[in-house]
Amino acid sequence: MFGATVVLLAAVEVLTAMTPCEVLPIKDAVAVLGPGAKQKDNTAQECTYEVPLPPGTRRTPFNQPLMLTARPWWTDIASQSATEAARNAKQGFNEMMNALRQNGASIKDESANGYSAFSAVNTKKYDDSQGIYILQGTKNIVISVYRQRGVTALPDLMDKLRVVAKRAAARL
């Protein structure tokens, strides 16, 4: 059992009929978290999967279950024209990348097949974190992994996130 918290944030344009759990199905949670992943929450705004703590284990700030969560990242587009929404989505995407870079994250371009993307790895704040941020028009996904300092990372985590991110982007 790894003592890390893994959070997958997936945002779906408000006007789409897809729910977060349709963008991030259980098979993707299993690909990242392992075969113990179970669905915990499924609402129109959030989808959570986790690997429960072993029976009798107390949840504390330093002992959390592995967790993958899909939820809206940026959804305030309903009142905007298509051109304005696309421009604002790109601006928000770039602002997110710059803010992460300014906070010490290492940024890498991950763009592919018709969408913009970058990964960010940050080990200079309270928790080690890794993430992949994807923008396709006004639709966006952020897949982030947070783990407590000193906790062993999941094996090949970024590679697993890249695979899941590509599949999620294709579902948008």
Distance CA 48, CA 41 (A): 5
CA angle (76, 79, 84) in 5-degree steps: 80
CATH code, 71: 3.40.1000
Q: Can you tell me the mean pLDDT for 118-139?
A: 77
- Label residue 149 by pLDDT band (50, 70, 90): low
Give the pLDDT of residue 10.
Answer: 43
* Residue keyed to tokens 């639709």: 139
Instruction: Say what the pTM is.
Output: 0.76
Give the pLDDT of residue 121.
Answer: 84
The rounded percent of the chain whose pLDDT value lies above 90 is 12
Residue spans of beta strands (DSSP E) within the chain: 5-10, 38-42, 47-51, 66-70, 106-109, 116-122, 127-136, 139-148
Give the pLDDT of residue 9.
Answer: 44
Least confident range from 51-60, 94-103, 122-131: namely 122-131
DSSP element (H, E) containing 137: none
Best CA proximity match to 91, nearest among 114, 116, 66, 72:
116
Give the pLDDT of residue 125.
Answer: 55
Q: Domain tally for the chain?
A: 1
Distance CA 140, CA 42 (A): 19
Distance CA 67, CA 154 (A): 12
Give the pLDDT of residue 2.
Answer: 41
Residue range 25-83, pLDDT digits in tens: 999 989 988 898 899 888 877 788 887 777 888 877 767 777 777 766 665 666 778 88
Measuring CA to CA, how many Å separate 93 from each of 24, 69, 147?
Answer: 20, 20, 23
CA angle (100, 102, 107) in 5-degree steps: 50
| Range(s) of the domain holding residue 39 | 5-171
Give the pLDDT of residue 108.
Answer: 94
